[in-house]
Amino acid sequence: MRVSYASASDVGKVRSANQDAVYADESTFLVADGMGGHAGGGVASSTAVKVIVDLLRQGEDPMVAIQEANRAIFERGMKDSSLAGMGTTLTLAKTDGTDGALNVFNIGDSRAYLLRQGRLRKLTNDHTFVQELVDAGSITVEQASTHHARHVLTRALGVDPEVEVDRFFVPIEGGDTLLICSDGLVNEVAEGRIAELLADLEPSEAVKKLVEEANANGGNDNISVVVARFHRGDGDDHLVSVAAGHKESRATVSGVATAPKGSAPTGLVVSDIPSPIPKSAVERPMVFRPVLRLLGFVAVLVLFFLAIVVAIALYVNHSYYVGVAGKRVAIYQGRIGGLLWFKPHVVQDTDLTVSKLTPAFRSQVTHGVPESSFADARSFVANMKYQLSAFAHTGSSVK
């Protein structure tokens, strides 16, 4: 499997800075969309790319590389108060070396798509508050696309000491096209249009056109795209590798195109994307996860408490004892002296007068005699009656 690819990252028409970062080579494709503070977002996304790409080059496992990047961003945010709370999305696709599959990793709301025979399929799930509402059936996908909280993430790289990463294994076929993009693309360009452009254009043209259309439709956020097309066999299609789209270079997609061994170089690819108009930055909201976690914790506490109450109620309802009600012996349901707000109550009176019992029985019932069931309590009473009558017959005095 051979691959041609291109990437681009653009500040858009509204933000003052590009906090996205992209990376692409022949086996690794990555988009990171930073958030948190004026500087934090850009630091988080570029740290993610640097740490991950370095480790992958050293042959490290992608999952390990992602956790390392998470730790690096988290620790830097802890040390530097101006970067506190920074984080980034991460969508990474890596060919697995077996020629025909991608491992896709995702945290946050950047997305990976696969175009196969004209049909665009989303490979990743967004980790956003609105996606949770959609999954719960509270709102529709259409409502989610315009929801005021649609940018609020439930998961991001670098905001906690450890991060949960979604992982997808994606078999690929010759002709498949991979797209990785930040939300700045999908919020501006409909998926149907994205599919058209990917199907019609070479990767280097597709990334330019996608950024262009996102800007034309508003460019409200930074726009980052990586497009990779996979070619089966040694056909005569050109392999064009375009290293492009540096985050500092606002509007240029540029780079040297390299050719496969044996064929002629295909030349330089330069973009003609118009320069953006910087406006006041609209910061991405902080990650929503601490709030969700707190709510989850409270829910667990409440359930735990309810479980205890139910357990106590069951326990109390299955407890009986023989005690004293007024001057007579009675059978109670509940625990002697009560338990929490569960007070014992008389379930059966008897005709036994306490003052007529033997001293031993009198002492016992005054303190209460616990029994494991109503039947056991009744047998205890019956036993007392029997012994009293036995005393009476032998003429023993009952004090």
Residue 89 C-beta: closest distance to Mn ion, Å: 8
Q: Does 187 bind Mn ion (CB under 5 A)?
A: no
Q: Does 184 bind Mn ion (CB under 5 A)?
A: yes
CB of 61 closer than 8 Å to CB of 96? no
The widest CA-to-CA distance across the chain, in whole angstroms, is 125
CB of 134 closer than 8 Å to CB of 144? yes
* Binding string, residues 221-260; x marks residues near Mn ion by CB under 5 A: x---------------------------------------
Cβ closest to Mn ion, residue 56 vs residue 92? 92
| Cα 363 to Cα 383: distance, rounded to the nearest angstrom | 16
Q: Does 334 bind Mn ion (CB under 5 A)?
A: no
Q: How many residues bind Mn ion (CB under 5 A)?
A: 5
| Cα 333 to Cα 319: distance, rounded to the nearest angstrom | 6
Residue 219 C-beta: closest distance to Mn ion, Å: 11
| Cα 183 to Cα 221: distance, rounded to the nearest angstrom | 8
Helix (H, G, I), strand (E, B) or coil at 9: strand
Q: Does 183 bind Mn ion (CB under 5 A)?
A: yes
Residue 29 C-beta: closest distance to Mn ion, Å: 18
Nearest one of 21, 181, 19, 13 to 86, comparing CA atoms: 19
290 is written with which tokens?
Answer: 């601490």
Site for Mn ion (CB under 5 A): which residue of 10, 33, 126, 212? 33
Cβ closest to Mn ion, residue 55 vs residue 152? 152
Site for Mn ion (CB under 5 A): which residue of 18, 70, 95, 182? 182
Residue found by looking up tokens 């005699």 in the block: 369
- Looking at the DSSP assignment, which residues form a beta bridge with residue 30? 23, 92
385 is written with which tokens?
Answer: 């009656």
Q: Does 371 bind Mn ion (CB under 5 A)?
A: no
Q: Judged by CB under 5 A, which stretch of 97-105, 213-221, 243-251, 275-283 contacts Mn ion? A: 213-221
Q: Does 126 bind Mn ion (CB under 5 A)?
A: no
Q: Which residues in this chain contact Mn ion in the complex, by CB under 5 A? A: 33, 182-184, 221
